[in-house]
Amino acid sequence: MLQSQLSAPLPEAPELVLVTDLDGTLLGGATAERRRFYQWLAQQRERVLHVFCTGRDLASIARVLEDDEPIGLAAPHLVIGDVGCTVACGQSLLPVPLAVEPIEARWQGLEQRLLPMLEGQPGLAPQPLHSERRLAYYVDPEQFDHSLIPELEAHGVDCLLSDNRYLDLLPSGVNKGSTLLALLEWLDVDRDRVVTAGDTLNDLAMFETGLKGVMVANAEAALLEHLPRLSSVYLASEEGCAGIAEGLRHFGFDHLWD
């Protein structure tokens, strides 16, 4: 049913489902390492089902794919965007109704209630996004009043502060992890074949799923604090793409480099 809503086919029996954050993770590390990893992804397209899982909106993802095409970054098979609030076909970047409609139902009416509470708040500036199921703000940590967060969450949203600079307001219960698990149910893949990778606090929900995870070496301190309780997550010694590759080998996917 999911395949029928996509404009490009998915691998029939992927040996790996690789779920990567973008900034600092798939877009992180030295250019040479990125180029090498992107080339490997392109070569393994029928064996590795690649999913972007990012806080970026679809327009921003399109810009990334265009900007980094010269060093080999190709469109993924699937996209989880807006910190879990959007699911799209990787090739066309068109939303997948099967996945998006339940999230849309949770978001109904929230924006109208929240915007008056957020207007004029010190330390907050709206991010220029094009999402219909999320509000996002830049944060000035010296001015922002953290007591606002429980007031907002009382209206049925989850507030996610990442890197102490970005505030996302998401429908309650919706995040990268919840949307990823729903997507895996539709894909009907073996969870042992899934590896996630990230570097900031908005990736925590992915790591809390219990799926194999790679925390790249450049992960923010607030995320590293959670590492001791994340038994299925590997902390790489390398940054960005090199860290992802290191983590995949740690989890036994060396054969994909043969």
Taking only the tens place, the pLDDT of each residue in 133-151 is: 999 999 999 999 999 999 9
Q: What is the domain range of residue 186?
A: 3-103+174-257
* Residue matched to tokens 């068109």: 94
Structural tokens at position 29: 């590390």
What is the three-state SS of the chain?
Answer: CCHHHCCCCCCCCCCEEEEECHHHHHCCCCHHHHHHHHHHHHHCCCCEEEEEECCCCHHHHHHHHHHCHHHCCCCCCEEEEHHHCEEEECCCCCECHHHHHHHHHHHCCHHHHHHHHHCCCCCEEECCCCCCCCEEEEECCCCCCCCHHHHHHCCCEEEEEECCCEEEEEECCCCHHHHHHHHHHHHCCCHHHEEEEECCHHHHHHHCCCCEEEECCCCCHHHHCCHHHCCCEEECCCCHHHHHHHHHHHCCCHHHHC
Q: Which amino acid is at 117?
A: M
Q: Is the same domain home to 93 and 200?
A: yes
Q: Is the same domain home to 166 and 181?
A: no
pLDDT tens digits along 43-92: 999 999 999 999 999 999 999 999 999 999 999 999 999 999 999 999 99
Q: Is the same domain home to 20 and 91?
A: yes
| Residue where a domain stops, chosen among 135, 156, 171 | 171
Count how many residues are written for the chain: 258
The pTM of this model reads 0.94
Q: Is the same domain home to 211 and 97?
A: yes
| Residue where a domain stops, chosen among 171, 190, 209 | 171
User: What does pLDDT average to in each consecutive run of 10 residues of the chain (258 residues)?
Assistant: 83 96 98 98 97 96 97 98 96 94 94 94 91 92 94 95 89 97 94 98 96 98 97 99 98 93
CATH of the domain at 161: 3.90.1070.10
Q: Cβ(201)–Cβ(161) under 8 Å? A: yes
Structural domains of the chain, count: 2
